[in-house]
Amino acid sequence: MKILLAEDNAVNRKLAITLLEKRGHTVIPTENGQEALVALEHENVDLILMDVQMPVMDGFEAIRAIRAKERCTGAHIPIIALTAHAMKGDREKCLGVGADDYVPKPIRTPELLAALDRSRKLRVDAPSTTSPSPAPSPKEPAPTVFDVNDALNRVEGDRELLEEIVRIFTGECSSNMDAIRQAFASGDARLLERLAHTIKGASANLSAATVSEAAFKLEKLASSGNLENAGEWIDTLQREINRLLPELASVCQKVAF
């Protein structure tokens, strides 16, 4: 893979580069978010490893900028955030701004490699690419992030209506997730249950199975009143949403509403 690395700490940079190059990856090193954005203008990369705390432009801002740009192209480069162990809130914040995953620092090789593996399944090519998309591997069927045909059936083939509900869902996503985090922070299990239920229903209408399932698990957990593991499920739900949104955008472009 061609991997863009943004990391201000020279030791961490050296470590990550060596680790990745040993496994045959090509690494483009940059030292802050701004350098990373510049590099992305002329480099086509398969993955971005983004440190969170950096001078000039931090990881949050850089991830936000990358995702904003992708909203126009329909592309989705997997981003793994590198988060400091002590900064627990950073992890949720990374996912909130559009990272697909995070790896805590100091980096442990197995954790980084596991995240790389997960990220391989995430890449969505821009619809404009000339090469035909590769056939899905038969032994590893991709989970249905968004089943457009099923979704169209639900609205009796009304593409305009589907486009409209996609737009509503997309527009409400981040405020719903903010509300879920607030409910979790204040220990309000009933509210958390209701919010998860809303996302479950909305995503089920879109035939977005992975998001719907994650929301359902969170809803069940909240209804039990025990929020001990809810934080992890909120992260999982956010990850699935982050996979779904580019898929919605790209599929909607492809079927040319």
Least CB distance to Mn ion at residue 90 (A): 11
Nearer to Mn ion, 11 or 72 (CB): 11
Q: How many angstroms separate the Cα of 123 from the Cα of each of 3, 10, 63, 74, 80?
A: 13, 28, 16, 11, 12
Question: How many other CB atoms are there within 10 angstroms of residue 2's CB atom?
Answer: 12
Q: How many residues bind Mn ion (CB under 5 A)?
A: 4
- Which position's Cβ is nearest Mn ion? 53
Q: How many angstroms separate the Cα of 178 from the Cα of each of 29, 100, 173, 214?
A: 33, 17, 9, 16
Among 1, 25, 26, 53, binds Mn ion (CB under 5 A): 53
Instruction: Give the 3-state secondary structure of residue 29.
Output: strand
Least CB distance to Mn ion at residue 188 (A): 34
Binding span for Mn ion by CB under 5 A among 1-9, 128-136, 207-215, 240-248: 1-9
Instruction: Give the 3-state secondary structure of residue 102.
Output: strand
**Is residue 8 involved in binding Mn ion (CB under 5 A)?**
yes
Nearer to Mn ion, 53 or 198 (CB): 53
Least CB distance to Mn ion at residue 242 (A): 22
Nearest to 180 by CA among 158, 196, 162: 196
CB of 31 closer than 8 Å to CB of 65:
no
Least CB distance to Mn ion at residue 96 (A): 19
Among 16, 27, 50, 51, binds Mn ion (CB under 5 A): 51
Residues whose CB is less than 8 angstroms from the CB of residue 23 and which lie 6 or more positions away in sequence, other chains included: 113
Binding-site string for Mn ion from residue 83 to residue 122, where x marks contact by CB under 5 A and - marks none: ----------------------------------------
Q: How many angstroms separate the Cα of 95 from the Cα of each of 5, 52, 182, 215, 230?
A: 18, 11, 15, 16, 15
Nearest to 50 by CA among 41, 37, 88, 233: 37
Least CB distance to Mn ion at residue 6 (A): 9
Nearer to Mn ion, 10 or 161 (CB): 10
Nearer to Mn ion, 39 or 204 (CB): 39
Binding span for Mn ion by CB under 5 A among 50-58, 122-130, 173-181, 208-216: 50-58
As a whole number of angstroms, the distance between CA 54 and CA 27 comes to 18
CB of 89 closer than 8 Å to CB of 33:
no
Binding span for Mn ion by CB under 5 A among 29-37, 51-59, 152-160, 216-224: 51-59
Can you give the binding site for Mn ion, defined by CB under 5 A?
8, 51, 53-54
